[in-house]
Amino acid sequence: MKNISIILGVTGLLGLSFISCDREYDTPPIATIPEGNIISIQDAKDMVTLTTPSVSFTEDYSIYGVLTTDETSGNFYKEAYFQDATGGINLRFTSSASTHIGDSIRLSLKGALITTYQGNFQIDSLDPDLNVIIQENNVEVEPLVLNILQASTGYARLVQIDNVEFIAGDLGSTWADAANQNSVTLVVTDCNGNLLDVRSSGFANFAGDVIPEGNGSLIGIMGSFNGNPQFIIRNPNELTLNGARCTGGGTVTCDPNTTFNETFGSFFSGNTVSDFCWSTTAFGGAPQWLIGDISGDKLAVASLSGTSSSGAQGSWLISPEFTYSASQILSFSSSVQNYNHDGLEVYILTNYAGDPNTATQTLVTGATIAGSGSANNTLVGSGNVALSGFGISGNYRIAFKYSGNPGAGQTSTYKVDNFIVQ
C-alpha cells in the first residue's frame, strides 16, 4: 500500500503539471509612479524662499535629468548629483542607491523635501527605489569648462577645470585619510595663484593613493561648503595632471590669458613679485617690487623710503601676458604710504621680450591712482578702464612703473592689489 500511495501521488502531480501548462494566468499590473507636474531643477530651487526655506512635495511632481555621480568609487554615499539644462542639484537618498553615472532618470518628487544646507540646494528624503525611474543608461554629459575664478558658477554641475596643479605643500599627500577613514581637503592652484579646495572621503577606494604632482585638468563635480567652492572627484582616472608644473619646479608655462584676477594672496611676504608669471625689474639702483601687506591683506609694494642713493630710480611690476580682446576692461586698487610725490604710472606693454625699456609703451589714462588726497594705506579703486581705446595689437602685458628720487625727497611707498582684467 505504501508503494501505491507513492505512485498515486506522483501520478497526481503529473496530472497537475499537465493542467497547469494548459491554464492561462492574467499578467499582474505593473506599478507605475505618476508623472504629475513636470518642472525643472531651477523651478524646484525657485520654490525655496526666505519665507519658505523648505518645501515638502505632497503631490506628484517630476524632474527629468541625468545623474552625474554614483557610489562606485566610495567618494559619494547615499547621495548623487543630478543636472538638467537649467542647472544641477544634490540628491540625498534614504538608502544606498544602485544608480550609475549617465543614468537618465525621471525624479519623482512626491514625499521628498527641497531645502538648503549651508547655502546649497538639495532634494532630501528620496527613496532610490520609489523616487528614481530610469529612462536610459549611459547618457554622456559634457563637462562645463571653467577656470578657478568661475568655479562657484558651476555648483552641482559636472565641470572641467584646466591648467591647475596641487600646491607645493600638498605634494606627497594622499587623497584622504584611508587608515582612519577621514575626509581631507587639499588645494589646487592655477599659474596665477588662484586657489580651489578639493575634497575626498576617507571611504573612497582611492583615499590612500598619492595625489599626482603635475599640471593639467580636473573633471568632477563642483560642490560647495560654507559658501566656498569645493571640487569633488568622481574617479582619479578623470584627472590628467601630468604636465609640467608652473610652480614648485618644472618648466613655467604661462600661456596668454584673456581674463585674470590677482589678489597676491598666494605669494610669500617679503619675496619679490616674481612668481605665478609676474615679474619685476628695477632701474637706477632701486629695490624691486616686493610682497607686503595692509592689515594682513597681501599686495605688491614699491618704495624708495630709506634709500640712501639719489637720482632718478624705480622699478617695474609686469603682469602675465594677455591676448587682446576689444571687450576687455582693466581695474586695480592702489594705495600710498607717507605721500610726498606722485610715483605710480600704468602702461600697456606690447612687443615685450623681457625688458620694458625695449617694449612699446602706452600710458594708461583714465584710471584713478592713489595720491596726495588719499588716506595713508587706504586702497583706492581705479575704476573700470576699457582697453579698446589704447590701440593694442596682438598680445600685451600691463606694467606698473614706480619711480622717484630720494635726493629730491620723492620716496612715497606705493602698493597695488586686486588686479583684474575681465
Q: Are residues 289 and 395 in the same domain?
A: yes
Percent of the chain with pLDDT over 90: 64
Mean pLDDT of 45-64: 93
In 3D, which of 411, 202, 205 has the Cα closest to residue 314? 411
In a domain, 352, yes or no: yes
In a domain, 213, yes or no: yes
Which of 136, 164, 184 terminates a domain? The answer is 136
Q: pLDDT tens digit string along 317-357? A: 999 999 999 999 999 999 999 999 999 999 999 999 889 99
Q: Quick one: pLDDT at residue 131?
A: 96
Q: Are residues 233 and 205 in the same domain?
A: yes
Q: Quick one: pLDDT at residue 257?
A: 87
CA separation for the pair 78, 7 (Å, rounded): 56
11 vs 281 pLDDT, higher one: 281
In 3D, which of 42, 38, 105, 41 has the Cα closest to residue 69? 105
Q: Are residues 340 and 398 in the same domain?
A: yes
pLDDT tops 80 at residue 1: no
Most confident of 12-16, 263-267, 413-417: 413-417
CATH value at residue 131: 2.40.50.200
Q: Which single residue is written with the C-alpha cell 625695449?
A: 358
Q: Which pTM was predicted?
A: 0.55
Number of domains comprising the chain:
3
CATH value at residue 271: 2.60.120.200
CATH value at residue 197: 2.40.50.140
Mean pLDDT of 400-420: 95
Q: Are residues 213 and 288 in the same domain?
A: no
pLDDT tops 60 at residue 12: no
How distant is the alpha carbon of residue 411 from its chain centre?
41
Q: Quick one: pLDDT at residue 117?
A: 84
In 3D, which of 356, 416, 339 has the Cα closest to residue 381? 416
pLDDT tops 50 at residue 250: no
Q: Are residues 122 and 169 in the same domain?
A: no
In a domain, 195, yes or no: yes
243 vs 98 pLDDT, higher one: 98
In a domain, 46, yes or no: yes
Q: How confident is the model at residue 25 (pLDDT cuts 50, 70, 90)?
A: very low
Q: Are residues 67 and 122 in the same domain?
A: yes
Q: Quick one: pLDDT at residue 191?
A: 84
Q: Quick one: pLDDT at residue 91?
A: 97
Angle at 245 between CA 243 and CA 249, to 5 degrees: 135
Which of 89, 107, 136 terminates a domain? The answer is 136
Q: Quick one: pLDDT at residue 75?
A: 95
Q: Any idea which of 26-40, 319-333, 392-406 has the lowest mean pLDDT?
A: 26-40
Q: pLDDT tens digit string along 71-92? A: 999 999 999 999 999 999 999 9
Q: Quick one: pLDDT at residue 253?
A: 52
Q: Are residues 87 and 120 in the same domain?
A: yes
Q: Are residues 153 and 293 in the same domain?
A: no
Which of 136, 164, 192 terminates a domain? The answer is 136
Mean pLDDT of 228-240: 91
Q: Are residues 149 and 43 in the same domain?
A: no
Q: pLDDT tens digit string along 257-285? A: 888 889 888 776 787 887 778 888 989 98
Q: Quick one: pLDDT at residue 247?
A: 56
Q: Are residues 128 and 169 in the same domain?
A: no
Q: Are residues 293 and 360 in the same domain?
A: yes
In a domain, 15, yes or no: no
- Grid cell locating 196: 580651489
In a domain, 374, yes or no: yes
pLDDT tops 50 at residue 55: yes
pLDDT tops 90 at residue 412: yes
pLDDT tops 90 at residue 57: yes
Q: Are residues 313 and 237 in the same domain?
A: no
- Domain extent, residue 264, equals 260-421
pLDDT tops 50 at residue 175: yes
Secondary structure letter of residue 116 according to DSSP = E
In a domain, 251, yes or no: no
CA separation for the pair 138, 104 (Å, rounded): 8
